[in-house]
Structure 1
Amino acid sequence: MTVDRLLPGPDARDLIELTREIADKELARRVDEHERAETYPEGLFATLGAAGLLGLPYPEEYGGGGQPYEVYLQVLEELAARWAAVAVAVSVHTLSCLPLAVYGTPEQRERWLPDMLAGRLIGGYSLSEPQAGSDAAALTCKAEKTEDGYRITGTKAWITHGGLADFYALFARTDSGPRGVSCFLAPGAADGLTFGRPEEKMGLHAVPTTTAHWDGVLISADRLIGAEGQGLPIAFGALDSGRLGIAACAVGLAQAALDEAVAYAKERETFGKKIIDHQGLGFLLADMAAGVDCARATYLDAARRRDAGLPYGRQASVAKLVATDTAMRVTTDAVQVFGGYGYTREFRVERYMREAKIMQIFEGTNQIQRLVISRHLAR
């Protein structure tokens, strides 16, 4: 089903139409092959970059799209409705550009940002560690100052596009304590940088997730983003935006599951009529549709606050929590609509259900989102 979108102008409508055209042509026709074979879609991100879809919320002066966040997120939702793994990777790339775009010096932006926003350089976000996931302040990867820059030593985990990205927004410890973390724009290839075997995941098979091992890697001083010790504020500020990206991806995934469930229910017959005409099944589909619409409204509300320059951290956590829990419920219900067929790989809904699970976990688990929301309320 084509979602009727409330967009801020004709340019945004044209962008959505372009996205749908690319998503149908380049994503929908390739997704089943690559997800089943667990192979990377070579050339696809270059295509998205050439179409201008990898730098949408960033300034036009650096080659970005200059789009409001509410428009960028709806583009992301359209991509996710065809291929969740690709949409998540686009969200992570956009998140990885944010530290440089917001905290970088003019010289740093001029040097790197145009290639990043054009998709000539694909990014990864490297915050988590094996023993420091949601507890970012506990990270131990070190960045020791040298005469020419920094020596990076440690292990990072759960990196989308790990081993394939051209750069990483890397967070490493330059001092002790919560104010001792710094942010770096680290190169994707360097002496002493190696990557673990891609994780064997439940879903999102086409884009690898890996660990990264930094064994005394030397990086130049001009790759420090912001000031030393500013890393955690940069990371947490970026994650508010990243959570909205994951919320949009979750809504796109849920919308795809709903569409397939409705289509199947309008064809499948039992007891002499279409199963959608049985009240019990029809009401289940209605609840699924209501959940998708509500989840979309939460991320759009948060995005509009962001675009207006208002505080939106709590709303971003609400959107991530609501959208990803909804995606899990809607994809599970979609499998139920298909009955026994839904449990087979003949239909996409079983994949949607597997893909939805991780969205409740990354960019801060939904338990962390509840903690963030409760702390906002306590203030």
Structure 2
Amino acid sequence: MAEEAAPIRFGILGCAEVARKVSRAITLSPNATLYAVGSRSLDKATKFAASNGFPPHAKVYGSYEGVIEDPEVDAVYVPLPTSLHVQWAVLAAQKKKHLLLEKPVALNVHDLHKILEACESNGLQYMDATMWMHHPRTTQMFHFLSDPQQFGRLQSVHATSTYAVTPYFLENDIRVKPELDALGALGDTGWYCVRAILWASNYELPKSARALHKPTYNDAGVILACAASLSWEDDKVATFYCSFFTNVSMDIIVMGTKGSLRVHDYIIPNQEKEARFSTSSNSNWLELSLGWAPNPSDHVVYNDLPQEVHMVKEFARLVGAIKYNNSKPEDTWPIISRKTQLVIDAVKTSIDNGLEPVEIKG
């Protein structure tokens, strides 16, 4: 194999459930390969590699250090608890490993800055693992939102991300432990909502955020459900709701002066190989308000590869361009991550300050 075509060698830090999905994506991606996995338990790492498609030559380590110290590892995927991200992401960057970081990427923007600075100073590619961003449907939906004749000017966005958890989850999952993932539902499901709102607004930061009501907490003070509103200088508005108590919901409603977009499964499509959304443009009432004219249009996007494979492919492509062609890291992904974290931080501050509005400064 010519060097320029050699796949990017991934190491994985930890054996979280989501790492199984990303391991599969790396296996399916033509420009990536599973090369190493590390866990605090060698036995756990060995079992993870055996059950998740790692090739026979893959390295298995009983520590995270083993992966980031391995000179053959090009990039690391980090699905560790959020409280550990800044430590291990910075160490990985110092060892010249490109970084695919699971969301939420940090507990606050101060920690994220440390991660991004470590990547930038070492000439490394950074990307957060918000998988739906890479689905072909997302591109098609954005084309519609960018059409001044079909959509017009953005007026409002509403996003949800919810799922009903089990009693076991509420007692044991890292997402309800303040020492592991202190942001709780705001960091987990709220991250998707905030990213969707920023995506729909072409990543224009809102001027302010305000929590809409007192969140639901567990006994340890971790947020289990919350809602917030965002506003812009030009009077655009957005709202979102995230929860560990509500039936699965992954909705985006985007409204413009001339059209609207609706999607019911933006985070995880109902079917792996096809994804749907609906649009309406320049609509009005029929005679006696008996219906719409024209009716909303339904769209289906077919894809051979799951969205997480598209994510890995794109990340590996960027890493390969740096490794083989001396390209510069793509800065779009760090900028988007930072803006998402800024909004999350503002909502958290509003919650902590008794639901007062909080200015968002870029």
TM > 0.5 fold call: no
Bigger RCO of structures 1 and 2 (CA < 8 A, at least 6 apart):
2
TM-score range, shorter chain: under 0.3
Q: What is the TM-score when the length of structure 2 is the normalising length?
A: 0.27
Which structure shows the bigger proportion of residues in strand conformation? 2
